[in-house]
Amino acid sequence: MMTRRKTLQSLAAGFGATLGSSLFPGISNAASLKPGVSGGPKRVIFFMQNQGFEPGTCIPDGMRNSGSLAKAKLPEPIAALEPFKERLNIISGLHGIHTSPSHSAFFGALGGYRGSDGVPPSAATIDYELSKALPETLLPHLCIGMDSLENMKGKPTVANLSASGAGQPIFMHSNPNHLYQTLYGGISQGEIRKQHEARSGMLDRIGELAASKGGLLSEGDKRRYGEFVQGFDDMSGLRERLGKVSDHLRNFAPKVDARYQSPEFETDWHDTLLDLGISSLKSGITNVLTIGSGRGEIFGSWKGLGVEQQGHNLGHMTQKDNPIWIKIRQYNSRMLVKIMEELESVPEGSGTMMDNTLIVYTSNNADKQHTNGANWPVMLLGNCDGIFKSGCFTQLDGKRPINALYATILRSVGVSGDRFNMSDKMAKKFDSGSGPLKEILA
């Protein structure tokens, strides 16, 4: 929760730095996994595509064993990543059987536990846990969700993927106009500024009214009501903190164009949401970004790519060599490239922001829509100052769960622990080992 952020003092010096310098110079790097290796990711991005991630759409033809990608040709769906092969690690052979993914694992995809439609999270997800361990930011964790225009307009926020604890979902932002107002409304002019002020005033009044009425409730309801009121306090606090660094934010706010108010296709909003997510990373507003393409459900639409089919039907198609899924995965890959190029353009320390960033691309649905989760392909982009192997394909034996990957990433930012969200009893059944995945470490 944002309330755990006690002070803006440590951020002030960073936000006052000039464009291109480290945004958080006073915060040291996390402890590394290996003695003598400095660094570790300063930011982590999770990109979750719904309907599954079929191995044949990412593993080069003929590669069955772990090895270098240097002489391999990437499959057509991820061909846009070809110039970035030295930063890429394609991982096959993790599993998520215990999450019971079927149509989706929902919160279980990032939580590493059983998930299902309508079932609340049973623990915090990996993205939120990382937001607690990484250097402080104004907004610890940002989630954006991409779907059809109808769904994004009708439900501008949904919660299916991320959680801050048991029964505590984190909402994804799906309307770029609302998200822009939240992040940059205070520095905007004209109609956007008016909408921001009107929305802020309304939320303040609702929060005050809610706080004044809570005293009449039972103890159990008071607790739940208190969480509701706290949410309004958090939003007010975020507006105040963003206001204090308004001069800095002006360097990063995306230009508002016709796509915001008058999108022709849903991909217009997908693109603007991505721009906002990237700007939040470059500006230092957040250092953990979760992207839900399909918003963790079985829905989703890509008419802007010329794909007329949408939603559940897309999951009943074989993805390998399928023109429809080639278009969707190519679109994802171009988004990944844009993220990398944008972060590469910003100097940080002795390198760039991308040198200190880890991107995790996978699906909330393992390898396909109707799956038992026996194979959960993942792509990692970035080696974070040499901590993770890159430029390679890693074939695992299918006996270690996605939890092991998450535990490994946590280790890379200095959080000790051999397991993530998995008891010893569960591990005896679903994990053949413990500790980090040595196969992906440099």
More confident residue, 27 or 355: 355
Alpha carbons 11 and 84: distance in angstroms, whole number? 32
The tokens describing 172, both together, are: 């994804």
Pairing of strands 351-352, 288-293: unpaired
Q: Which of 311, 289, 370 minimizes the C-alpha distance to 110?
A: 289
The CATH topology of domain 2-182+253-440 is Alkaline Phosphatase, subunit A (3.40.720)
The 3-class SS string of the chain reads CHHHCCCCHHHHHHHCCCCCCCCCCCCCCCCCCCCCCCCCCCEEEEEEECCCCCHHHCCCCCCCCCEECCCCCCCHHHHHHHHHHHHEEEEEEEECHHHCCCCCCCCHHHHCCCCCCCCCCCCCCHHHHHHHHCCCCCCCCEEEEECCHHHHHHCCEEEEEEEEECCEEEEEECCHHHHHHHHHHHHCCHHHHHHHHHHHHHHHHHHHHHHHHHHHCCHHHHHHHHHHHHHHHHHHHHHHHHHHCHHHHCCCCCCCCHHHHCCCCHHHHHHHHHHHHHHHHHCCCCCEEEEEECCCCCCCCCHHHCCCCCHHHHHHCCCCCCHHHHHHHHHHHHHHHHHHHHHHCCEECCEEHHHHEEEEEEECCCCCCCCCCCCCCEEEECCCCCCECCCEEEEEEEEEEHHHHHHHHHHHCCCCCCCCCCCHHHHHHHCCCCCCCHHHEC
Give domain limits for the chain: 2-182+253-440
pLDDT on residue 246? 83
List, for residues 65-75, the tens digit of each pLDDT value: 999 999 999 99
**Mean pLDDT confidence for 211-234:** 54
Question: Of all residues in the chain, what percent carry a pLDDT higher than 90?
Answer: 70
Question: Of all residues in the chain, what percent carry a pLDDT higher than 70?
Answer: 79
**Mean pLDDT confidence for 374-389:** 96
List, for residues 307-335, the tens digit of each pLDDT value: 999 988 899 999 999 999 999 999 999 99
By the 8 A CB rule, do 385 and 39 touch?
Answer: yes
Q: Tokens 């208190």 correspond to what residue? A: 226
List, for residues 154-172, the tens digit of each pLDDT value: 999 999 999 999 999 999 9
pLDDT on residue 295? 96
By the 8 A CB rule, do 410 and 133 touch?
Answer: yes
Alpha carbons 396 and 394: distance in angstroms, whole number? 6
Q: Indicate whether 217 pLDDT > 80.
A: no
pLDDT on residue 239? 73
pLDDT on residue 4? 31
0.75 exceeded by pTM: yes
List, for residues 399-415, the tens digit of each pLDDT value: 999 999 999 999 999 99
- C-alpha to C-alpha distances, 344 to 142, 308, 335, 375, 417, nearest whole angstrom: 20, 35, 14, 32, 31
By the 8 A CB rule, do 251 and 283 touch?
Answer: yes
Provide CB contacts within 8 A for 104, sequence distance 6+: 50, 115, 117, 160, 296, 297, 298, 364, 365
Q: Indicate whether 222 pLDDT > 70.
A: no
- Measured N-to-C along each axis, helices 219-244 and 176-184 cross at an angle, to the nearest 10 degrees, of 70
Q: Which of 398, 399, 394, 400 minimizes the C-alpha distance to 440?
A: 394
List, for residues 231-264, the tens digit of each pLDDT value: 545 656 677 788 788 888 989 999 999 999 999 9
Alpha carbons 332 and 326: distance in angstroms, whole number? 10
Alpha carbons 218 and 187: distance in angstroms, whole number? 42
pLDDT on residue 387? 95
By the 8 A CB rule, do 364 and 48 touch?
Answer: yes
Q: Indicate whether 224 pLDDT > 70.
A: no
List, for residues 32-71, the tens digit of each pLDDT value: 333 333 467 999 999 999 999 999 999 999 999 999 999 9
List, for residues 333-379, the tens digit of each pLDDT value: 999 999 999 999 999 999 999 999 999 999 999 999 889 999 999 99
More confident residue, 386 or 22: 386
Q: Which of 61, 70, 16, 14 minimizes the C-alpha distance to 42?
A: 14
Q: Indicate whether 390 pLDDT > 80.
A: yes
Pairing of strands 67-68, 392-401: antiparallel
